[in-house]
Structure 1
């Protein structure tokens, strides 16, 4: 399969969407991220106050998020030879903030970002492009669709910390493929999670085929299979993915670590960057209970949980249940996430019964 920056489509045939294999879906996700990762990195430092919008729930969204979703839509349509309106993609962003005469400056900024990428979209149609990636599948429908979070960790994007960009593929309600790009996580070298990182880290997976790390310049020619190494029970320390700031471990996790006789060392990495950190040996444990009353969004977990599973670790939610992606845009049956090699997961969580 071919794909490049000249605008040629990835793959051949009239319509690849309905005949995608899981492996091909991962390849397409990896190829597309060779375009989106540099886009987000290149446009990060030119942000102004006019590029920032606050959603009704108080969370930030930027013109980069909106242009990024449009870019994913356009690149997927091109890769799959789909006419406008046929793509099935559940993306985080919607076009509501670009509606009305008062949003003309925002529309202009988004269109300018896309023009640099070779897509000339008018202000009158940019909303419809973004909306082509705003599918909200019905619960239990067995939907086949893509899931996209253009910038997972917008607050981190704004503050200069590690963020990710994510694309996943769901077939008949099951998460089967996807990729995570972390532009500021070094692909090689130091195992610590640090900011500057050259081309960044690009990882992907497909169901039953394994997890892989890709070369950001030519991902399909340089794929490295990622396999988990057993955690040494003799090690007194466990690197635990944590949100930024001096946030203490919750009482449940702290008790589990103490009972297992290990010390938790916090590593500041969150959003779906934490899955890339896990499979590239920067952290040993992801443990988020998920205490929010609101059901989490699918784009906050896909494709991360699949990549971790294919890497070879145990992956369950905060209640020790497997993940169900056939519940619409939100994970109605899950909350939180816990990932670790079985030699670490079992001592920490094996006594927890699924609830």
Structure 2
């Protein structure tokens, strides 16, 4: 089955959401609000991004069975304490629509915005089609002015068939260790893939298209490793043990969000390791878009036991310990190092 219409709609939706998020992040970085405890800017961007994606998908793909599995719901916005934030979200969404090709629908009421956000209440599952959205993946990166992504995927009968990653702060050139970005690098990448057609990257402005492929390196000593920026999001010590077993020479590249999947899909690095702290359950919106972007670029995404990720069980991924991503050639070596490192860790506890 071709997903051309769905892909076109998803690219529009993610690109518009990226514009909204860029506007909020720019204002945040220029303001005096640098405390991470102030959730207001990221709240406005999160909800605004979700509302925009929902509205654009509904408009571009009219269907009675529209289903969206997304991170946010409007509960906190409906009380008196949420009214000011809700008005800011409404203004942002309307302004973003008016400045693009949706001026005819840029007079949304607060009720319209609340309804659009709450479209994301679907549970997903193995039947029918479900859109999967993380409106801002990488909240802490967003607050710091670093990496974040608008991550949108489509499930069809439980399988990821389409993925779009809008990464407003990711350079169009490689971020690998030997080629750290300069201030001259153009920022803003859109990665997208549909099942069986490969992965492509283009600037967020929609210009020149490039087909991308994961790193083909077979030698771990030449490879670079990606992991989460925040130690709270992944066990950095476990990743370090695995890296030593593989003979990695370069230090890990730590960046926020599914921008890692995008960078990996074009060969910036060769391995991504994610080992959440005990008790954490992975959500499908944190990996669905990134997974197909990497696999269509020739990579492999698996849990720590080598099993493919299963997105058909609802909002959560039930995993064996963690997520590992690499190319076909390095996967056997990586799986061996992961298994040994996990066994050593278990015996030392």
Q: What TM-score range do you get, normalising by the shorter chain?
A: 0.7 to 0.9
1:275 equivalent to 2:275? Answer: no
C-alpha contact (below 8 Å) 1:144/1:171 kept by paired residues? yes
| 1:105 corresponds to which of 61, 84, 102 | 84
Of residues 164, 187, 201 in structure 1, which corresponds to 2:189? 201
Partner of 2:102: none
1:66-87 CA distance string (max 9 Å, x none): 011000011101111347xx42
Alpha-carbon contact 2:221-2:247 (below 8 Å) kept: yes
Could you tell me which residue of structure 1 aligns to residue 214 of structure 2?
228
| Correspondence for 1:91 | 70
Residue 158 of structure 1 aligns with which residue? 143
Q: Which residue of 2 aligns with 1:210?
A: 198
RMSD: 3.2
* Equivalent of residue 131 in structure 2, options 146, 151, 158: 146
> Are the structure 2 counterparts of residues 33 and 322 from structure 1 closer, same or farther at C-alpha, using a change threshold of 3 Å?
same
CA, structure 1 residues 330+79, in 2 after alignment: closer, same or farther (shift >3 Å)?
Answer: same
Which residue is equivalent to 1:286?
A: 272
Q: SS of the residue aligned with 1:115?
A: helix
Do structure 1's residue 182 and structure 2's residue 195 form an aligned pair? no
1:275-321 deviation per Cα after TM superposition (whole angstroms, max 9, x unaligned): 11112332221011234313211110011011111111222113321
TM-score (norm 2): 0.82
Give secondary structure in 1 for the equivalent of 2:253: strand
TM-score normalised to the size of structure 1? 0.81
Pairwise CA distance, 1:250: 4.4
SS of residue paired to 2:196:
coil
Contact 1:185 1:195 (8 Å CA) reproduced: no
Deviations 1:2-57 (A, max 9, x none): xxxxxxxxxxxxxxxxxx7334433332233332222211221223799x9989xx
Counterpart Cα distance in 2 of 1:188 and 1:345: 25
Separation of aligned partners in 2, 1:241 and 1:79: 35
Matched residue SS, 1:263: coil
- The whole-number CA distance in structure 2 between the counterparts of 1:24 and 1:136 is 23
For residues 241 and 40 of structure 2, the distance between their equivalents in structure 1, rounded to whole angstroms, comes to 32
Q: Which whole-Å deviations, capped at 9, do the CAs of 1:232-281 have from their partners, x for residues lacking one?
A: 42x63431112326899745443433333332521121310101111233
- d(CA) in 2 for partners of 1:351, 1:240: 14
Gaps of 5+ in 2: 99-105, 343-349
More helix as a share of residues? 2
Question: Is residue 114–residue 120 contact of structure 1 (8 Å, CA) maintained in 2?
Answer: no
Is the deviation greater in 29-38 or in 201-210? 29-38
Aligned pair 1:258/2:247, yes or no?
no
Cα deviation digits, residues 132-161 of structure 1 (max 9, x gap):
122123x5x424110011110111111111
Q: Tell me the residue number matched to 2:155.
A: 170
CA distances 1:168-224 after superposition (whole Å, capped 9, x unpaired) = 0000111111110110111136654659654511111111211111242236xx432
2:325 counterpart of 1:344: no
Contact 1:177 1:303 in 2 (8 A): yes
Q: Residue in 2 aligned with 1:15?
A: none
- For structure 1, the 5+ residue unaligned runs are 1-19
| Correspondence for 1:17 | none
Q: Distance in 2 between matches of 1:245 and 1:152?
A: 13
Look up the SS of the partner of 2:8 in the other structure: helix
Q: Given the superposition, is the C-alpha separation of residues 273 and 259 from structure 1 closer, same or farther in structure 2, using an over 3 Å criterion?
A: same
Q: Distance in 2 between matches of 1:34 and 1:129?
A: 17
Seen in structure 2, the aligned counterparts of structure 1 residues 114 and 258 have a Cα distance that, compared at 3 Å, is closer
Shift of 1:165: 0.8
Deviation of residue 125 (structure 1)? 3.7
